[in-house]
Amino acid sequence: MVEIYLFVNPLDERCLLSEQRFLKAIENEHTKVYLKLIPVLNPLIIHHYLIDNNYPTNDLVFRNHLIETVYSACLDVKAAQLQGKKMERKFLFHLQDLVGKKKMAYSEELVDMILTKINADKETFKLDRQSKLIKDFFKTDQQIANEMGINRFAKAVIFNYDCTRNFGVLIDAFSSTDLIKQLLKVEHTQTSCAKLLEY
């Protein structure tokens, strides 16, 4: 069995591309692969995001708006998740496509449009979205990200329980499909597993 934790920005096109790459890499795997998409947000990640995208790092108004917007989108994703993993992924992919790729402004109206398009239960979503449970889920995600040393969007941690390696491997989510597939392989010797860390 393999567990993949993929830490993403719910409003970013590059993260959408990384998610699609992982889904393609695991679609023909014979071993069980659990892909967990985790919307993540903290000040260090935002700082790196600003630098990576050539945004001003000293514009506090822009930075605060970005943090508020990504935070709101993270809660939206967690609320959609309560209607099932498939619904969560549909919602996340549409949100990233419309905001990240097509440059539509994130808004409640846009979220409502996506919910309609994916046939989500909008009333349940609205109730869930305002609940303390959603914020608690978000906090748990951030604790996981912190424990795994995530400091940028689109990072992945892969735990391969069919390998003698007894720890997760942190990689850039834009790593090659070949590397991802290699990390998913069933390995039976410590030597063959250790080699993967050289990438």
The Cα–Cα gap between 183 and 180 comes to 5
pLDDT one-digit tens code per residue, 119-157: 999 999 999 999 999 999 999 999 999 999 999 999 999
What secondary structure does DSSP assign to 53-89, as a single string?
TT--SS-HHHHHHHHHHHHHHHHHHHHHHTT-HHHHH
- Measure Cα distances from 49 to 9, 74, 106, 147, 148 in Å: 10, 16, 18, 20, 18
The angle that helices 60-81 and 122-129 make with each other, rounded to 10 degrees, is: 130
Q: What is the pLDDT along the chain (199 residues), one digit of tens a residue?
A: 889 999 999 999 999 999 998 998 888 778 888 999 999 999 999 999 999 889 999 999 999 999 999 999 999 999 999 999 999 999 999 999 999 999 999 999 999 999 999 999 999 999 999 999 999 999 999 999 999 999 999 999 999 887 766 788 999 888 888 888 888 886 644 434 433 343 3
In this prediction the pTM is 0.87
The angle that helices 43-52 and 60-81 make with each other, rounded to 10 degrees, is: 110
Domain that holds residue 99: 2-198
Domains of the chain: total:
1
What CATH code is carried by the domain that includes residue 144?
3.40.30.10
| pLDDT on residue 115 | 98
Residue type, 58: N
